[in-house]
Chain A
Amino acid sequence: MYDLTDVLDFEALESVRPGSNILVSGPAMSGKEDLAMSMLADGAEHGQGSLIVTTGDRAENVLEDFLERAPDADESTVSVVDCRGDGSRRGEATATGSYVYHVSSPGDLTGIGIGITECLEYLHNNGAESGRFALTSLSTMLTYTDRKTVFKFCHVLSSRFDSAGYLGLFTIDSSAHDDQTLQVIKQAFDGMIEIREDEGRREARVLGLAGQPTEWQEF
């Protein structure tokens, strides 16, 4: 079971089943990616593997940022799939022992899949028997491909993480899409962490993971 309460204190996040996929949804600049990365860093500090798929930031920046959040992490169990590559698909270990895979575009689903496969193998070989996955962000993917493909992509990924026993976190910018698109994408997930900003205060609630939706709570 995965305990996320060190990052976000909700009872529903106390013991999340391995293989769960959670959508982290909120408007722009509301701290969704920050939250997802903190949840990964928390796992890394406890010896779990970390796999990040980034559609926006370069792999080096993502790694640097991540290791600042998780200074005690074993770097050989941290990996990044960077979807802003140079046209080729290639993976390599960094000087400090993390693993980075480059894919040409956020629309290259096969390439992303190969990257995830190689990263999972790398993490496993380095002793990570469980792990957390984050994809930032589905909104970028939706600009490269349609919602039907993104929905199915999420479903296939969730099936893969189910087998691997990983916890998956996917962020989406709720202010960038119409209601129907959000409704469709939501269906591919086991649960959702929703974020909103109210007069400068950030609030979150959890839906779908354990029982009724929770109340909004400041974080």
Chain B
Amino acid sequence: MTGSETPVVLIVEDEPDVAETYNLWLADDYEVRMAGSGDEGLAELDDEVDVVLLDRMMPGLSGDEVLERIRERGLDCRVAMVTAVEPDFDILEMGFDAYLCKPIRSQQLHETVENLLDRSAYDDLLQEYYSLVEKQATLEATKSSAELADNEEYLELRERVEELESELSDTLGGIDNDEDFIATLRGLGDVEE
């Protein structure tokens, strides 16, 4: 997710009425793109897309296959799978970030999208936090404590690191949800700046 711009949500759904309903619910808050099939969905995907709502059962390319392609392409977007069946505990093993059971209500859809955006924000912050920690560690490993105490850059760095620390704990306020926890861990290895 990139700062202040309106987040982009891509709806991949083969039933036009359902897709339009989601669009009506979300259009006020997000930039919505729509795709009527898995292939169209892949064509609409680029770096701008923050959240994908992916119907699992579609003719042609299935939701599972689309998800696999998204992960292969290494895109930094969150995927909510939309299913008609209640999934079991084993959903934690699968590569999506959230699931929604049909039929979906407006509030539930909003909450899911909001939650996935928060999680992306956490990833971005963690990314920035790490790169500053790395810089700080380089300085601490190469300079004496007297030199550090006088070094403007180092002092600013430490201040920013502390700021980010509290921002990070505010973002998710502690990961108390199993799905969030697994999805965040899953993202750790793949995302490079």
A residues bordering B, Cβ < 8 Å? 19, 89, 109-110, 112-114, 116-117, 121, 145, 148-149, 151-153, 155-156, 159-160, 162-164, 178-180, 183-184, 187
Contact = CB atoms under 8 A, between A and B. Distances in A.
Given A89-B93, A114-B92, A109 B185 contact: yes
A147 B161 CA distance: 18
Interface of A is mostly: helix
B85 interface: no
Given A183-B137, A184-B134, A152 B126 contact: yes
Nearest to A155: B126
A19 B137 contact: no
Contact of A163 (B126, B136, B176): B176
A109 B188 contact: yes
Contact of B172 (A148, A149, A159, A179): A159
A156 B184 contact: yes
Given A155-B126, A156-B185, A148 B168 contact: no
Contacts of A164: 176
Nearest to A152: B188
A114 B91 CA distance: 10
Nearest to A161: B174
A75 to B, nearest CB: 23
Nearest to B129: A155
A105 to B, nearest CB: 12
Contact of A148 (B130, B161, B176, B186): B130
Given A114-B92, A159-B175, A180-B137, A152 B130 contact: yes
A113 B130 contact: no
A145 B184 contact: no
Interface in B134-164: 134, 136-138, 140-141, 161
Given A110-B186, A153-B185, 10 more contacts: A117-B181, A151-B130, A155-B126, A156-B175, A156-B184, A156-B188, A159-B168, A159-B175, A160-B181, A183-B140
B174 A163 contact: yes
Given A156-B184, A160-B181, A184 B137 contact: yes
Contacts of A187: 133, 136-137, 161
B189 interface: yes
A122 to B, nearest CB: 12
B182 interface: yes
A156 B134 CA distance: 17
B188 A153 contact: yes
A83 B184 CA distance: 19
Nearest to A146: B189
A155 B182 CA distance: 13
Looking at B129, B133, B176, the one whose CB has the most chain A CB atoms below 10 A away is B133
